[in-house]
Amino acid sequence: MSKSLPRRALLSVFDKTGLVELATALAGHGVELVSTGGTARALREAGLEVVDVSAISGRPEILDGRVKTLQPEIHGGILARRADPAHMAVLAEHGIATIDLVVVNLYPFARTLASGADFATCIENIDIGGPAMIRAAAKNHEDVAILTDPADYPRLVEALAAGGTDGALRQELARKAFAHTAAYDAAIATWLDGLDGSPLPDPLLVAAPLQQTLRYGENPHQAGALHAWPQGRPGVALARQLQGKELSYNNLQDADAAVELVAGFTRPTIVIVKHTNPCGVASAATLHEAWERALAADPVSAFGGIVASNRPVDAATAEGLAGLFLEVVVAPGFAPEALERLAAKANLRLLVLDRLPGPGEAMLDVRSIGGGLLVQARDTTTSDPASWETVTRRAPTAEERAALAFAWTVCRQVRSNAIVVAAGETTLGIGGGQTSRVEAVELACRGLRVEPAAGPLVLASDAFFPFADGIERAAGAGIRAVVQPGGSLRDGEVIAACDAHDIAMVTTGRRHFKH
């Protein structure tokens, strides 16, 4: 694949960024410009000479523009192998000239879909001629260069100045072109797949462009990267970094865990996460108060942690954040005074997330295993506390029930086996990722200290208690009320243990494992 200068270029783009500059450079090298519709108008308005596609094909655009470039005169000129005498003879027989450069980007289907457009509008924004030209040019990259990304226009201009495109450049552009059309088709297929309400697609199509190469993965010897998922819901991958060091793989994992948890609360809330598990969570009347309570829940583990807020960070909260070594703070915004205070922590990463994910904005959870992918619907729903069933002789008080609802919201985002102890709207102990539930209870209850004003101690469990031993440990720590899914063969024994210690218990009927 030798270096070559194009003699004829076909330009048909929706995104006209850099179009005139590219076309001007092409014309300066004697390249004939062929174009369609709005692209041709933009070039003529810039004073450039353009040949309409219809003049080459001898046919007008038809079907409201659905058929423009789907013509032998166009695709023959793109697909002919220049080194094949038979191909070139066919072109000569039919009076078809070669097209050596194709510049195409597509109707913005994903943007149309995101705008909430109706079915008919989405259908009309499915590009047909564009992908056909892209694929034809990419297939024949031995002779044809294909540009789908305006960011690559300067490289093409540089290549023209150096004598033309070489085989390596054309092959790289072809790879990008096939990835471009694959992502485009994936977005359409995913949309159509979702119209029937099916929670799981068949096949799973993931088009996730590279967003950022990371310094490394979980450990320095592992490569790592962040890929955007256009079909995903709002989250950390869409956050804007205001200051601080480059984000690491582990930073992003922890920040995601913190955001998913803090998004579940309506009152001003702070979540502190360490190694994807919360170590301090609190809601309060003000964000600063929530910060102080969350930090007090486990000040040792909070060191070097990740903080998420569901409110813009104010000056008082920033003052508290600045007093502790933290890796990341993610919030819907930062007051100017807060940014000024946190600027002194030059390495602290500040992330702005314009919108927190909502409970109804589901997406797929995807993780790799040897030989395949595990896919599930994201756990975005939970039972309504009003529907919980009291199974003990004593029902929880209003104060206990409110604390149980808080603890249950936290528990859903803790690694299984998960136990959360809380008083009021503050966590006091969290036992996550344990191999037995009784050990999780012991970890969460270890060293509990609570002021009487904080309210009664309550406990949430992400799954049922298989034995009564967990309740016995909880009673010894002063727990007054418990929320759990229920459903164990020994539910009777567990309930009896609660009654024996005057502990109120409610069951949710829904488990929330998080492995």
Task: Give 417-473 as a DSSP string.
Answer: S-EEEEETTEEEEEE-S-SSHHHHHHHHHTT----GGG--EEEEESS--SSTHHHHH
Are the C-beta atoms of residues 444 and 421 closer than 8 Å to each other?
yes
Return the biggest CA–CA distance within the chain: 97
* Structural tokens at position 430: 């969290």
* Helix or strand holding residue 503 (H, E): none
**What is the edge-to-edge ordering of all strands in the sheet holding 145-147?**
51-52, 32-35, 8-13, 101-105, 145-147
Bridge partners of 397? none
List active site positions: 139, 275
Q: How many residues does the chain have?
A: 515
Helix or strand or coil: residue 43? helix
Tell me the C-alpha distance between 122 and 131, whole Å.
Answer: 16
Are the C-beta atoms of residues 41 and 18 closer than 8 Å to each other?
no
Tell me the C-alpha distance between 491 and 315, whole Å.
Answer: 49
Task: Give the DSSP letter of residue 387.
Answer: G
* Structural tokens at position 19: 């179009």
Residue 302 burial (10 A CB sphere; 0-12, 13-18, 19+) = buried
Strand ranges (E), 258-386? 269-274, 277-283, 305-309, 326-331, 349-352, 364-369, 372-377
The amino acid sitting at 1 is: M
The residue among 29, 13, 19 whose CA lies nearest residue 165 is 29
